[in-house]
Amino acid sequence: MARKKKSPVIEKNNFKIPYFSILGVLFIVILFTALWFPLNLERTLYVPLTPQVETTVNDNAHSSVVGDGIVEIVNGKSATVTESSDVPEDEIVKDELDDIVDDKDNTVQYTIVRGDTLHDILIRYNVNRNDIYQLTTKFKQLANLRIGQQISWTTDDNHNLLTFSWAISSNNIRIYEKSGDNFVESSETIEVVPQDIVIKGDIKTSFVADARKSGLTSNEIGIITRALQWRLDFRRLQVGDKFSVILTREMHGKSLSNSQLLGVRIKNGTKDYYAILADDGKYYDINGSSLSQSFFRYPLAKQARVSSGFNPRRLHPVTGVVTPHNGVDFAVSRGTPVLSVGNGEVVIAKYSGSAGNYIAIRHGRQYMTTYMHLDKILVKPGQQIKQGDKIGLSGNTGRSTGPHLHFELHINNKPVNPLTASLPISEGLTGKSKKAFLSKVKSISSQLNF
């Protein structure tokens, strides 16, 4: 009898123990996921610019692969790097417009627009962070930049800031020069004579050549090209097309110190393209509509975990050599649709060395995006792409050891962090500012007639 009574109790206990342990394990897993996952997503998605190298060194001689890492074995030790190379074999071919739009001599001229801070501008142009810190903490007055003011700076090839100048007004310029580890301020008062001029020309060979012939400087041609980059492909201008430009040139003695484009009109066949400067420092068409094109932040329909961030100074853990990670890696499974982040034209679509199946898209003149390690390419070179178009499927091709999408954004042919870069916003004028703009258009458009 005693045995008979005991046995159900034992059975009950046998049932209870695994039941509670499963509950316990489940609880821990849910708690862990709930706490860790969203935090981790946020933390990894907005990757800081500071160098971060994901390294695992194993003591045994066996190679191992972790995530999308690549294994290198040196002296019987193996180290895992999240991707050691994303360098396509095919370079994007540049043309004469690139030379003009790029800032080749490491000197950048910039006009302050709404929402700018000096810190953000210099970060965007990859200026050495320590120099930015030195400059902005020592000279607090640099927080007072105004919309429309011109700044310019020069860096060396390693992005170190050499000189910075701030035109408070057309004849009052502050100059900050590097001296040792610090910056020294000086100011210059110059006799500046502003001149409004109108320049007109016909296309006989190419826009760049004919604009130069008409007297426009490279800097001015660059401003025009950037202002109209989303509306007009300058390479498609043909013999017989016309351009007309209004500029304010600031003459410093006999030499040109600065110029501002007030308006431009380009006639391409039967179509007219305008860019007119508004009070906010940006260009709009004659109706006050934005000339900018907006971008998606990610080339994916859904948010994905960033497995490796943008890092221009990434050190190779084994060789110690700087091997920049010029893009962002998204951990997505093979076959995930990859979307173009903006309107543009496919420049490259092919298998290309360690990049695997590789797509490069040009957006306007200043922007380029690239997509690597794709499983499938769904577009062809020369094809016109709309924002959000499915251009490929993500994969694991080329020098990649796990499925992921490597995505790069280049501004003026320099790679920048696509997660933090400031992207153009497509926003037209409204209300009072639109009214003021339209009356300005009225007053200058007749000067743009051919």
For Zn ion, the binding residues (CB under 5 A) are 83, 86, 329, 406
Q: Sheet with 182-189: list strands edge to edge.
A: 107-111, 150-155, 161-169, 172-179, 182-189
> Rounded distance, CA 101 to CA 83, Å?
31
Which CA distances in Å does 438 have to 8, 260, 386, 432? 90, 19, 30, 10
- Provide DSSP, 143-199: GG--TT-EEEEEE-TT--EEEEEEEEETTEEEEEEEETTEEEEEEEE--EEEEEEEE
**Cβ distance to Zn ion smaller for residue 344 or 402:** 402
Residue 161 or residue 331: which is nearer to Zn ion going by CB?
A: 331
With respect to Zn ion, which residue has the nearer C-beta, 86 or 131?
86
Looking at the chain, the number of H-run helices and the number of E-run strands are 7, 23
Burial string for 373-385 (b: 16+ CB within 10 Å, else e) reads bbbebebeeeeeb
Alpha-carbon radius of gyration of the chain: 28
DSSP 81-99: EE-S----SSPPPP-HHHH
The C-alpha atoms of residue 222 and residue 230 are separated, in whole angstroms, by: 14
Centroid of chain to Cα 130? 21
Q: Which is nearer to Zn ion, 72 or 233 (CB)?
A: 72
Question: To the nearest whole angstrom, how small is the minimum distance from the Cβ of residue 337 to Zn ion?
Answer: 19
Rounded least distance, CB 355 to Zn ion, Å:
9
CB of 407 to Zn ion, least distance (A): 8
- Cross-strand partners of 151: 110, 166
Nearer to Zn ion (CB atom), residue 220 or residue 329:
329
* For Zn ion, the closer CB: 277 or 377: 377
Q: Which residue's Cβ lies closest to Zn ion?
A: 406
Q: In the complex, what is the shortest distance from the CB of residue 50 to Zn ion, in angstroms, rounded to a whole number?
A: 17
CB of 308 to Zn ion, least distance (A): 5
The distance of closest approach from Cβ of residue 63 to Zn ion in the complex, given in angstroms and rounded to an integer, is 20
What is the enclosing helix (H) or strand (E) of 371? strand 367-377
Nearer to Zn ion, 260 or 308 (CB): 308
Q: Of the two residues 54 and 86, which places its CB atom closer to Zn ion in the complex?
A: 86
Q: Which is nearer to Zn ion, 327 or 342 (CB)?
A: 327
Quick count: other Cβ atoms within 10 Å of Cβ 146? 10
Residue owning tokens 């066949």: 269
Q: Cβ distance 201 to 210 under 8 Å?
A: yes
List, in sequence order, every beta strand (DSSP E) within 241-334.
242-252, 255-268, 271-277, 283-284, 305-308, 328-331
Q: Quote the CA–CA distance of 429 and 278 in Å, as a whole number.
A: 9
Smallest distance from Zn ion to CB 127, Å: 24
CB of 398 to Zn ion, least distance (A): 10
Least Cβ distance, residue 51 to Zn ion (angstroms) = 15
Q: In which residue are the tokens 């050691």 written?
A: 84
Q: Say how many Å lie between the first and final Cα of the chain, rounded.
A: 114
* Residue with smaller CB distance to Zn ion, 83 or 116: 83
CB 301 within 8 A of CB 338: no
Checking phi first, is residue 75 left (phi over 0); if not, alpha (psi -120 to 50) or beta?
A: left
Residue type at position 253:
G
Could you tell me the smallest distance in angstroms from the CB atom of residue 400 to Zn ion?
Answer: 8
Q: How far is the CB of 429 from Zn ion (least distance, A)?
A: 39
Nearer residue to Zn ion within complex by CB, 282 or 410: 410
Please say which residue, 86 or 389, places its beta carbon nearer to Zn ion. 86
Q: How far is the CB of 325 from Zn ion (least distance, A)?
A: 6
